[in-house]
């Protein structure tokens, strides 16, 4: 949610930002916000004047009663009653205007970064850097489900019977590899100075509406029937929600946190064959990083965060590239976002394995996350980034470490987490 002062003083800046995001249907919201803001402030002024008048008249009634001027006192009481009725109307109208203004403001997208390329969708994202040389082996790389099945590492059929489409069982050495990657990512981030956390896996609706836009909520979140609770789509949701309504001492910033959680997503929409299997699923696990910092530090933290993910993948021998997300591919709360994509030798292209986002103060405004300074309080900046999400990352891992005989080599950094084994051999 952007600052209302920006709409008051520079409405055309807000409109131009909406156009850059190709959301022209939201342009009328700027004028509506201006009108609602003016109405709310006028009502607040009228309310203050009515309360001041009530206090003055109450004192006058007391004096008239002392002077035995009962008829005049009754006239003043009638005036107080009329003002009280109007005040009740004003308070109700103020509440309605404020509620609608908040709804409108939460629908207006955050101002995007000057570095953000202008484009309609992810097809216009811009490549920034590549790390490690992508390679295609001399032998044919099978589809990742075939690799997993030969390793006796997955059971899709049983998962369909127990849970439906979009779920899976990981088994044996593959399940161990999944856990090893998460444990390695956890220790990697702890080594970078981040504090490890395991958050709640369910959050209330006021947290959901604070951490994401309405469109994202509808497309992602699972609602717990009969409860004001949602399953988290990423630990970022509950990690940022932890600081809702809090004012942090300036000396504690930045807060650098890394969190583990399962993630639950509806994943609405149809997807092609390369997005079946374990690429796009309803339940997975992830290691995340979260930073809450002062505004002047958020751009520097953005650079650090996505480079940590790059460093992690490179340490496991997986070629990656970074993509600057264009304006039309940015969620409404995001100021800037950069995707990390891993190389797929089978598809001979890169695919997304993580995303780093700077939300400036837009998320903090929705959740009222502030920090205390010598001059008062200010809204903090929030950032989040995927360290690693093993189901999707496993595809890149398996394809890049697959040998011609169907075995998969384990890089040295993961061997301590795999009981020292250096290769997973096919079972079938």
Span 81-103, pLDDT tens digits: 888 899 999 999 999 999 999 99
pTM beyond 0.85: the answer is yes
- For residues 22 and 97, membership in a common domain is answered with yes
The pLDDT-based confidence of 209 (bands split at 50, 70, 90) is confident
Task: At 144, give phi and psi (nearest 5°).
Answer: -60, -30
Structure-model confidence comparison of residues 221 and 414, the more confident one: 414
Token pair for residue 136? 């295609």
Q: Is the four-CA dihedral 256, 298, 305, 216 of positive or negative sign?
A: positive
Q: Is the pLDDT of residue 320 over 90?
A: yes
Beta carbons within 8 Å of 147's beta carbon, 6+ residues apart: 141, 398, 399, 402, 406, 408
Distance between CA 263 and CA 39 in Å, rounded?
42
Pairing outcome for strands 126-131 and 320-324 = antiparallel
Distance between CA 30 and CA 158 in Å, rounded?
51
CATH of the domain at 92: 1.10.287.40
Which contacts (CB < 8 Å, 24+ apart) does range 418-421 have? 418/173, 418/176, 418/177, 418/180, 419/176, 421/173
Choice among 165-169, 335-339, 364-368 with the minimum mean pLDDT: 165-169
Q: Is the pLDDT of residue 216 over 80?
A: no
Q: Do the domain assignments include residue 116?
A: no
Which among 72, 105, 138 is the end of a domain? 105
Q: What is the mean pLDDT of residues 356-362?
A: 97
What's the 3-state SS for the chain?
A: CCCHHHHHHCHHHHHHHHHHCCCHHHHHHHHHHHHHHHHHHHHHHHHHHHHHHHHHHHHHHHHHHHCCCHHHHHHHHHHHHHHHHHHHHHHHHHHHHHHHHHHHHCCCCCCCCCCCCCCCCHHHCEEEEEECCCCCCCCCCCCHHHHHHHCCCEEHHHHHHHCCCCCCEECHHHHHHHHHHHHHHHHHHHHCCCEEECCCCEECHHHHHHHCCHHHHHHHCEECCCCCCEECCCHHHHHHHCCCCCEEEHHHCCEEEEEEEEEECCCCCCCCHHHCCCCCCCEEEEEEEEEEECHHHHHHHHHHHHHHHHHHHHHCCCCEEEEECCHHHCCCCCCEEEEEEEEECCCCEEEEEEEEEECCCHHHHHHCCEEEECCEEEECEEEEEEEECHHHHHHHHHHHHECCCCCEECCHHHHHHHCCCCEECCCC
User: What's residue 268's pLDDT?
Assistant: 60
Q: What is the mean pLDDT of residues 355-361?
A: 97
Q: Is the pLDDT of residue 30 over 60?
A: yes
Q: Do the domain assignments include residue 110?
A: no
Q: What is the mean pLDDT of residues 220-224?
A: 89
Q: What is the mean pLDDT of residues 104-111?
A: 95
- For residues 330 and 361, membership in a common domain is answered with yes
Q: Do the domain assignments include residue 113?
A: no
Domain count, the chain: 2
- For residues 139 and 198, membership in a common domain is answered with yes
Q: Is the pLDDT of residue 318 over 50?
A: yes
- For residues 324 and 229, membership in a common domain is answered with yes
- For residues 127 and 100, membership in a common domain is answered with no
User: What's residue 275's pLDDT?
Assistant: 54
CB 146 within 8 A of CB 161: no
Q: Do the domain assignments include residue 112?
A: no
Q: Is the pLDDT of residue 274 over 70?
A: no
Which among 58, 74, 105 is the end of a domain? 105
Task: At 322, give phi and psi (nearest 5°).
Answer: -115, 140
- For residues 129 and 174, membership in a common domain is answered with yes
Choice among 60-64, 108-112, 388-392 with the minimum mean pLDDT: 60-64
- CA 199 to chain CA mean position, Å: 15
- For residues 46 and 183, membership in a common domain is answered with no
The pLDDT-based confidence of 288 (bands split at 50, 70, 90) is very high
User: What's residue 210's pLDDT?
Assistant: 87
Residue 242 CB neighbour total at 10 angstroms: 20
CB 352 within 8 A of CB 338: no
Averaged pLDDT of the chain: 93
- For residues 126 and 97, membership in a common domain is answered with no
CATH of the domain at 351: 3.30.930.10
Residue 419 burial class via C-beta count within 10 angstroms: exposed 0-12, middle 13-18, buried 19 and up? exposed
Token pair for residue 62? 């007391």
- For residues 286 and 342, membership in a common domain is answered with yes
- For residues 192 and 300, membership in a common domain is answered with yes
Q: Do the domain assignments include residue 115?
A: no
Q: Do the domain assignments include residue 114?
A: no
CB 139 within 8 A of CB 404: yes
User: What's residue 417's pLDDT?
Assistant: 97
pLDDT > 70 fraction of the chain, expressed in percent and rounded: 97
User: What's residue 271's pLDDT?
Assistant: 52
- For residues 229 and 288, membership in a common domain is answered with yes
Structural domain that includes position 86? 4-105
- For residues 58 and 145, membership in a common domain is answered with no
User: What's residue 270's pLDDT?
Assistant: 44
Q: Do the domain assignments include residue 117?
A: no
User: What's residue 273's pLDDT?
Assistant: 46
Task: At 347, give phi and psi (nearest 5°).
Answer: -85, -15
CB 303 within 8 A of CB 263: no
Side-chain-side CA neighbours of 114 within 13 Å: the count stands at 1
Choice among 62-71, 193-202, 296-305, 361-370 with the minimum mean pLDDT: 62-71
Q: What is the mean pLDDT of residues 54-76?
A: 83
pLDDT digits (tens, 9 = 90+) for 40-49: 999 999 999 9
Q: What is the mean pLDDT of residues 39-67?
A: 88
Which among 44, 76, 105 is the end of a domain? 105
Beta carbons within 8 Å of 100's beta carbon, 6+ residues apart: 36
Beta carbons within 8 Å of 187's beta carbon, 6+ residues apart: none
């Amino acid at each position: 949610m952007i600052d209302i002062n920006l709409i008051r003083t520079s409405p055309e800046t807000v409109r131009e930002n909406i156009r850059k995001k190709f959301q022209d249907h939201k342009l009328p919201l700027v004028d509506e916000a201006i009108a609602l803001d003016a109405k709310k402030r006028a009502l607040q002024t009228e309310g203050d004047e009515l309360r001041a008048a009530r206090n003055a008249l109450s004192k006058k009634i007391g004096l008239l009663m002392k002077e035995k001027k009962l008829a005049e006192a009754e006239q003043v009481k009638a005036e107080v009653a009329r003002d009280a009725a109007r005040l009740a109307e004003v308070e109700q109208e103020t509440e309605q205007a404020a509620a609608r203004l908040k709804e409108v403001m939460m629908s207006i997208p955050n101002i995007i970064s000057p570095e953000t390329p202008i484009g309609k969708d992810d097809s216009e994202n811009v490549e920034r850097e590549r790390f490690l040389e992508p390679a295609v082996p001399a032998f044919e790389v099978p589809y990742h489900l075939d690799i997993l099945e030969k390793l006796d590492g997955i059971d899709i059929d049983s998962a369909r019977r127990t849970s439906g489409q979009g779920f899976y069982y990981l088994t044996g050495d593959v399940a161990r590899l999944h856990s090893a990657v998460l444990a390695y990512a956890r220790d990697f981030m702890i080594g970078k100075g981040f504090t490890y956390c395991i958050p709640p896996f369910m959050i209330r609706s006021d947290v959901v509406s604070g951490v994401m836009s309405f469109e994202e909520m509808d497309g992602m979140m699972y609602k717990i029937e009969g409860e004001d609770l949602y399953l988290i789509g990423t630990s970022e949701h509950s990690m940022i929600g932890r600081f809702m309504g809090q004012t942090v001492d300036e000396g504690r910033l930045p807060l650098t946190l890394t969190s583990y959680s399962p993630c639950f997503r509806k994943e609405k929409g149809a997807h092609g064959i390369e997005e079946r299997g374990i690429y796009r699923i309803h339940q997975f696990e992830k290691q995340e990083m979260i930073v809450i910092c002062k505004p002047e530090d958020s751009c520097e933290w953005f650079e650090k965060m996505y480079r940590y993910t790059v460093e992690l993948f490179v340490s496991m021998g997986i070629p990656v590239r970074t993509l600057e997300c264009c304006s039309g591919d940015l969620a409404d709360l995001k100021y800037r976002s950069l995707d990390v994509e891993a190389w797929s030798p089978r598809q001979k292209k890169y695919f997304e394995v993580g995303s780093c986002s700077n939300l400036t103060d837009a998320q903090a405004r929705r959740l009222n996350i502030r920090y205390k300074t010598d001059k008062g309080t200010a809204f903090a900046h929030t950032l989040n980034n995927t360290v690693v999400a093993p189901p999707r990352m496993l595809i890149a891992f398996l394809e890049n470490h697959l040998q011609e005989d169907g075995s998969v080599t384990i890089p040295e950094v993961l061997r301590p987490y795999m009981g020292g084994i250096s290769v997973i051999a096919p079972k079938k």
